[in-house]
Copies of this chain bind each other. A is one copy, B any other.
Amino acid sequence: MRNSTVQLKYGRLKIGGGAPVAVQSMLNTPSGDVEAACAQINSLASLGCELVRVAVPDPAAARALRDIAGRSPLPVVADIHFDPCLAVLAAENGASGLRLNPGNIAGREKLRKVVDAAKAHRLPIRIGANSGSLPPELKSLPLPQALLAAASNQVKMLESLHFHDIKVSLKSSSVLATIAACRAWAQMSSYPLHLGVTEAGGILAGAVKSGLGIGTLLMEGLGDTLRISLTAPPQEEVKAAWHLLRACGLRRRGVEIISCPTCGRTHIDLPALAEAVERELALVSKPLTVAVMGCVVNGPGEAGHADVGIAGGAGKGVLFVKGQVVASMAENQLLEALIREVKKLENSLP
């Protein structure tokens, strides 16, 4: 049972209020570079990203939004720090939403500027509290309380300005603090909640920490949207988000690869083969389960629930469909045969 929240609209994308948990990422292209931004947005969209955030550090970046947002298939949210005028400019230039950090846009008058622009352009505002950039007066509190207070103070200020299209996030690099803050927030608010563990590290550490932190919250019914923050290309963030949503049983998209860990019984370079399969099938959007197994004898049975699979070792291998071997072949033909079978299956699905 998902926690009940009100619904916001970012362009055509609905967030909260029973909408599917939405996948976000953030561009890392040089700010103001329209071509690079558009290319990255298209790449992220092809992997299932549903909303992108763009840093807007200066007026040029805000003005570049006109072309970026105009050409983007996804809603584009402007990430604003320090200067409310950048929020105004971003709103005028086609942003679908704004994100403020309560640690660096304080004060009712600054916020009023942002709110006026958001109201004029019907944009939601995310209050994104972040353990690394808390308002100075809150830094002595325990982390979860500090995050709660930072978000809560700014939400109250927006409400006092009669603004309610609010989304909230409470992120820490501490997974435990993130979980505690989000749980407490959800108890007292029905604004949609964006989930993330911040500064989580590279792919391995970031995926583990986000799987634990965001996953724990999702499994409790919390969260309307998420970003898995990785110090890595944003495409990896989107892939990781889908792995997580799928593992939680919340949404399915694209290929789930079932592959055994390597062991002393494996006579094939399984990591390389699994990586190649993942790469070749990255753009398949229909939900399929594909197995890449290291053992011709046990593989097809162990991965009997997979839609399609290959198992190989010692030069030869088999292609199997729903646990039944349909062809035997040389090891170096496995990849191609698998791709062909997946494409066939993909085309047969509605």
Residues in A lying within 8 Å of B, measured CB to CB? 26-31, 54-57, 61, 79, 130, 132-133, 173, 175-176, 198-205, 207-213, 215-216, 219, 228-234, 236-237, 239-240, 243-244, 247-249, 256-266, 270-271, 274-275, 278, 291-292, 298, 301-304
Report B-chain residues with C-beta under 8 Å of the C-beta of A249: 176
In the assembled complex, how far is the CB of residue A303 from the closest CB belonging to chain B, in whole angstroms?
A: 6
Contacts A199-B259, A210-B211, A232-B262 known; list 4 others, CB within 8 Å: A198-B260, A202-B271, A208-B211, A229-B261
7 CB < 8 A contacts A-B: A57-B265, A132-B304, A201-B243, A208-B215, A208-B247, A230-B261, A231-B260
Pick from B57, B199, B212, B216: contact of A258, CB below 8 A: B199
Report B-chain residues with C-beta under 8 Å of the C-beta of A266: 28
In the assembled complex, how far is the CB of residue A134 from the closest CB belonging to chain B, in whole angstroms?
A: 10
Asked if B204 and A231 make an inter-chain contact with CB atoms under 8 angstroms apart, the answer reads no
Asked if A302 and B132 make an inter-chain contact with CB atoms under 8 angstroms apart, the answer reads yes
In the assembled complex, how far is the CB of residue A170 from the closest CB belonging to chain B, in whole angstroms?
A: 15
Give the complex CA separation of A343 and B105 in angstroms.
38
Asked if B261 and A208 make an inter-chain contact with CB atoms under 8 angstroms apart, the answer reads no
Give the complex CA separation of A249 and B176 in angstroms.
8
Asked if B209 and A262 make an inter-chain contact with CB atoms under 8 angstroms apart, the answer reads no
In the assembled complex, how far is the CB of residue A290 from the closest CB belonging to chain B, in whole angstroms?
A: 10
Give the complex CA separation of A154 and B323 in angstroms.
26
Report B-chain residues with C-beta under 8 Å of the C-beta of A301: 132-133
Pick from B27, B209, B257, B292: contact of A263, CB below 8 A: B27
Most chain B Cβ neighbours within 10 Å, of A132, A211, A243: A211
Give the complex CA separation of A249 and B172 in angstroms.
14
Copies of this chain in its oligomeric complex: 2
Smallest Cβ-Cβ distance to A133: which chain B residue: B302
Smallest Cβ-Cβ distance to A64: which chain B residue: B264
In the assembled complex, how far is the CB of residue A51 from the closest CB belonging to chain B, in whole angstroms?
A: 15
Pick from B56, B173, B248, B292: contact of A231, CB below 8 A: B292
Asked if B199 and A207 make an inter-chain contact with CB atoms under 8 angstroms apart, the answer reads no
Asked if A202 and B274 make an inter-chain contact with CB atoms under 8 angstroms apart, the answer reads yes
Report B-chain residues with C-beta under 8 Å of the C-beta of A198: 260-261
Report B-chain residues with C-beta under 8 Å of the C-beta of A79: 263
Give the complex CA separation of A201 and B198 in angstroms.
24
Asked if B201 and A203 make an inter-chain contact with CB atoms under 8 angstroms apart, the answer reads no
Report B-chain residues with C-beta under 8 Å of the C-beta of A271: 202, 231-233
List of 3 A-B pairs having minimum Cβ-Cβ separation, nearest first: A211-B211, A132-B302, A212-B215
In the assembled complex, how far is the CB of residue A265 from the closest CB belonging to chain B, in whole angstroms?
A: 5
Asked if A264 and B31 make an inter-chain contact with CB atoms under 8 angstroms apart, the answer reads yes
Asked if B212 and A209 make an inter-chain contact with CB atoms under 8 angstroms apart, the answer reads no
Pick from B26, B61, B243, B302: contact of A208, CB below 8 A: B243
Pick from B132, B211, B298: contact of A209, CB below 8 A: B211
Asked if B201 and A204 make an inter-chain contact with CB atoms under 8 angstroms apart, the answer reads no
Report B-chain residues with C-beta under 8 Å of the C-beta of A278: 201-202
Give the complex CA separation of A208 and B256 in angstroms.
12
With A209-B247, A264-B29 given, is the CB distance from A259 to B201 under 8 Å?
A: yes
Asked if B204 and A264 make an inter-chain contact with CB atoms under 8 angstroms apart, the answer reads no
Give the complex CA separation of A243 and B274 in angstroms.
23
